[in-house]
Amino acid sequence: MSRRWVVTGGSRGIGLAVAKRALAAGDRVAVLARRPPPELAVTLGETPHLVLPADVSDPLSVAAAMASVAAQWGGIDVLVNNAGLHRGGKLERLPLEDWNAVLATNLSGAMHCLRAALPHMGGGASVVNVGAVVGFRGFPGDAAYGASKAGLAGLTQVMAVELASRQVRVNLVVPGFVITEMTAAVDERARERLLARIPLRREGTEDEIAEVIYWVAGSTYMTGAVIPTDGGLMCNL
């Protein structure tokens, strides 16, 4: 049966790969992005989909988007909390506004989306949060991003327990070093050092992460799980 997806941060990177994977399976996908590019609808093809502007850090914006999806499709079956913001800097030099912006998007944003989607989700629905290795292992200069992703891991655990009685599953997929626009800014020396710590000795791809997210969304006896998809990085740190 066709499922109804909402994917935040779905205009590029892992989010776009997830949207394409679900559409390829015949599902319907609503892509939420702060500023969706005009060409996104063409990129997603002719399979039924929605492209909605929404800022996950703004609960009113998110609530309007979720209500629009539910009004057009009758409900939401899968929510993928993928929208992310990265601003680095050692703690003593990290601007407070950067700290607040990262947490507002990566952590509070996921909470806003979940709260807004829940009234439109029935039994059997699935939430997949997209974490990061830095939420479990320390990397210098990643205080804001690491704190936000660690918080998202905790939120996943609590929501898995709270929502189990409603038969709504909540899981966390943890990508490692993946080739995206966000990681393209990593300098070559840092990239080589990181690759040396990955047992598989390569970056992941957006499509590889999307495949895991798609599988987790459909795993009917999995909730509260943490699924590293990182080439072995976490077990080697």
Beta strands in 68-191 (DSSP E): 78-81, 126-130, 169-175
Distance CA 62, CA 32 (A): 9
Q: Which of 5, 73, 145, 214 is the catalytic position? A: 145
Q: Which token pair is 15? A: 């989010």
Site of tokens 């290795």: 133
Distance CA 29, CA 131 (A): 21
For the chain, give the number of residues: 237
Catalytic (active site) residue 145 = yes
Q: Which token pair is 159? A: 């929501």
| Amino acid residing at 130 | V
Site of tokens 């966390």: 172
Contacts of 43 (CB under 8 A, 6+ apart): 16
**Based on the number of CB atoms within 10 Å of its own CB, is 79 exposed (0-12), middle (13-18) or buried (19 or more)?**
buried
Q: Which residues are catalytic?
A: 145
